[in-house]
Amino acid sequence: MDTHVSHSSVSNSGMPAIRMLTLASIEPSPTAVQQRRRARYDAAALKELAENIRAVQVIEPIIVRPRAASVGPEGYELIAGERRWRASQQAGLESIPAIVRDLNDGQVLEIQLVENLHREDLHELEEAEGYETLLREHHYNVDELIARIGKSRAYVYTRLKLLSLDKRSREAFYEGKLTAATALLLARIPVTKLQQQALKAITQSWNGEPMPLRIAQRHIQDHYMTHLKEAPFDIKAADLLANVGPCGTCPKRTGNQPELFGDVKGADLCTDPECFAAKRSAWGLKVKAQAKAEGRDVLSGREAKRIAPYGVHSTLQGGFALLDSRCYDNSKGRSYRQLLGKDFKAKTLIEDAESGSMVELIKLSEHSDLLKAEGVRGERGNVSSEGERARRLAVKTETLFRERLFGAIRSKTPPALVGNDLRLVAKALWDMAGHDACLRLVGIWQWAEKGKANEVVYRCDTKIAALSEEQMRRFVIDCALVNEVRASSYDTRKPEKLLMTAKRLKIDIQSLRKTLKGEQLARSSKKVASKDKARVKKTAA
């Protein structure tokens, strides 16, 4: 048997000559590509190939190269065709057809990678790791890689992006918990902590099964991408954070990597919510410093929460209004800024906890004369009026009643939907709920510390998935009724769903109202007595 092949020998046609080499003279390639592939050989498929070879021999030759520093008989390193070589051993053959080529390490890796690309069972992450080796260790650039393997630029970039998966995500991908498409969704999240959160949500929160691709896409876009148009800061600013440039040229902006974000509608989305939050915080500090220098006040944290408990774009407490909000007592529906003059500058700013923006704020009682001169009618221009106080008390009383009614209904939650259907309904109702409703649900279910609801409201999927069936039934009822719990002076409709449900559950509505009224009268009497006592004490002094 001729095992001593001339390395440069070719056939008359100019193609490399095929020689028969002994199986014993050949050793498997030690490259990482082959080691990964070897770990996933299908024993049954290899046995089937051995039976086929026993019957018809090896038709397609393997590729080898001379082994470096061989001792004794000439030896070879197996470059391509390891399954055929192993199957030939199982078939009891002594030799195999081979092409001997002089190849450097880069050429070896390229051949093995190209051969692997034709495997039906090639794992996408294996492929990406092979590309990475060519780029890092053998100094290929992306254009050379694209030309060599015959794939599109988008294909190569999406494969290489899989290398951004953290260790846990890679393990889940290899274990089959992720598809290539869902793995790419995770790989595009640049923060490891957030990537792991998304991994948990995608693999565990969909009825115990991984999320379908479309649901996973929506989940990640809703929770881990931010529209730059919603940024309160100037996205062109290059000095908000050290060593972080403007958003427009950032590689984490979807529009700057179109090959990776072809499924995302919109080029101006930030994929790094932590960087976005840090920029927003830095911008807020600059605004506060500037406002302080101008002699203006900035309300944030607890102060802002006291005035805007449900967000700055909901009903504000304490007789405040946003300068740019519409004045409903003006017949032309103009904003307060328009009424007070385009050059008017509010002395107070309030931070919007949801967006991070700073919004100008005015106290209506301080500008009642100007507003009246501009034709503002009604009592909202004068927050100290008896009518306004009565209206606020009525709203507060109605809200307290609705809360009592809501609690009574919750205590009598009936058995209804069960199993996966119940969970599906619960998740659908949560997804359809407005932001304010979700904040209330987070508070009702105590899913966040006090004042932290805004921070967790977009990360409640796992909380919902963890609910027991009994809790899920109550949650579904909560979602259906929560929008009617809070009364509003601008919406005089009755809480029909609350009242109808209470009636069906035989809850005594009039008794609830009577009890609440008695409690309010008792508190009011106590408050008056306390004031009278303080007045007498002051007079005596």
233-277 pLDDT tens trace: 889 988 889 888 999 899 999 999 888 888 888 889 999 988 998
Which of 82, 115, 126, 374 does the annotation list as catalytic? Answer: 82
**pLDDT at 116 (0 to 100):** 74
Is 395 a domain residue?
yes
SS3 state at 443: helix
Between helices 192-204 and 213-224, what is the axis angle to 10°? 150
Shared domain for 45 and 59, answered yes or no, is: yes
On the question of pLDDT at 383 being above 60, the answer is no
Shared domain for 358 and 394, answered yes or no, is: no
Shared domain for 23 and 110, answered yes or no, is: yes
**Are 270 and 247 within 8 A, CB to CB?**
yes
**Are 478 and 444 within 8 A, CB to CB?**
yes
* Spatial separation of the C-alpha atoms in residues 111 and 101, rounded to whole Å: 11
Question: Percentages helix, strand, coil for the chain, rounded to the nearest 5?
Answer: 55, 10, 35
SS3 state at 335: strand
Shared domain for 421 and 308, answered yes or no, is: no
Shared domain for 345 and 461, answered yes or no, is: no
How many CB atoms lie under 10 A from the CB of residue 267? Answer: 14
Shared domain for 356 and 418, answered yes or no, is: no
Is 219 a domain residue?
no
SS3 state at 251: coil
Of residues 348 and 14, which shows the higher confidence score?
348
Is 202 a domain residue?
no
Shared domain for 79 and 128, answered yes or no, is: yes
> H-helix or E-strand containing 63?
strand 62-66
pLDDT digits (tens, 9 = 90+) for 116-157: 766 667 788 888 888 888 788 777 888 888 887 788 888 889
Calculate the alpha carbon distances from 261 to 70, 157, 178 in Å.
50, 11, 18
**pLDDT at 76 (0 to 100):** 93
**Beta pairing partners, 209:** 206
DSSP states along 157-196: HHHHHGGG--HHHHHHHHTTSS-HHHHHHHHT---HHHHH
User: In sequence order, which residues have a C-beta less than 8 Å from that of residue 294 and are 6 or more positions away?
Assistant: none
Is 263 a domain residue?
no
Q: Among 155, 178, 209, which residue terminates a domain?
A: 155
Q: Among 136, 155, 174, which residue terminates a domain?
A: 155
**pLDDT at 384 (0 to 100):** 45
**pLDDT at 84 (0 to 100):** 92
Q: Cα–Cα–Cα angle for 122, 126, 127, nearest 5°?
A: 75
pLDDT band, very low/low/confident/very high, at 378 (cuts 50, 70, 90) = very low
CATH number for 58: 3.90.1530.30
Over range 423-435, report the average pLDDT.
82
Over range 12-39, report the average pLDDT.
80
How many domains does the chain contain in total? 3
Over range 394-405, report the average pLDDT.
86
On the question of pLDDT at 59 being above 80, the answer is yes
> H-helix or E-strand containing 203?
helix 192-204
- Residue 455 structural domain: 388-507
Of residues 224 and 130, which shows the higher confidence score?
224
* Spatial separation of the C-alpha atoms in residues 293 and 286, rounded to whole Å: 11
By C-alpha distance, which of 232, 245, 328 is closest to 287? Answer: 232
* Spatial separation of the C-alpha atoms in residues 21 and 469, rounded to whole Å: 67
**pLDDT at 158 (0 to 100):** 92
**pLDDT at 4 (0 to 100):** 36
Q: What is the mean pLDDT of the chain?
A: 83
**Are 462 and 369 within 8 A, CB to CB?**
no
Shared domain for 337 and 371, answered yes or no, is: yes
pLDDT band, very low/low/confident/very high, at 7 (cuts 50, 70, 90) = very low
Calculate the alpha carbon distances from 64 to 3, 41, 108 in Å.
12, 20, 9
Q: Among 155, 185, 212, which residue terminates a domain?
A: 155
Shared domain for 436 and 502, answered yes or no, is: yes
Q: Residue length, the chain?
A: 541
How many CB atoms lie under 10 A from the CB of residue 119? Answer: 13
pLDDT digits (tens, 9 = 90+) for 61-70: 999 999 876 5
Over range 400-418, report the average pLDDT.
76
Is 480 a domain residue?
yes
**Are 408 and 504 within 8 A, CB to CB?**
no
**pLDDT at 379 (0 to 100):** 44
Shared domain for 135 and 109, answered yes or no, is: yes
Is 520 a domain residue?
no
On the question of pLDDT at 106 being above 60, the answer is yes
Is 244 a domain residue?
no
- Please state the φ and ψ torsions of residue 50, each to the nearest 5 degrees: -60, -40
pLDDT band, very low/low/confident/very high, at 208 (cuts 50, 70, 90) = low
Shared domain for 301 and 393, answered yes or no, is: no
pLDDT digits (tens, 9 = 90+) for 36-48: 777 777 788 889 9
Over range 316-342, report the average pLDDT.
83
Q: Which amino acid would we find at residue 283?
A: W
| 144 noted as active-site residue | no
On the question of pLDDT at 399 being above 60, the answer is yes
* Spatial separation of the C-alpha atoms in residues 422 and 405, rounded to whole Å: 24
Is 165 a domain residue?
no
User: Which residue do the tokens 């929506």 mark?
Assistant: 218
Most confident region among 207-211, 278-282, 489-493 by mean pLDDT: 278-282
Shared domain for 367 and 399, answered yes or no, is: no
SS3 state at 381: coil
On the question of pLDDT at 421 being above 90, the answer is no
**pLDDT at 381 (0 to 100):** 40
By C-alpha distance, which of 366, 369, 349, 365 is closest to 357? Answer: 349
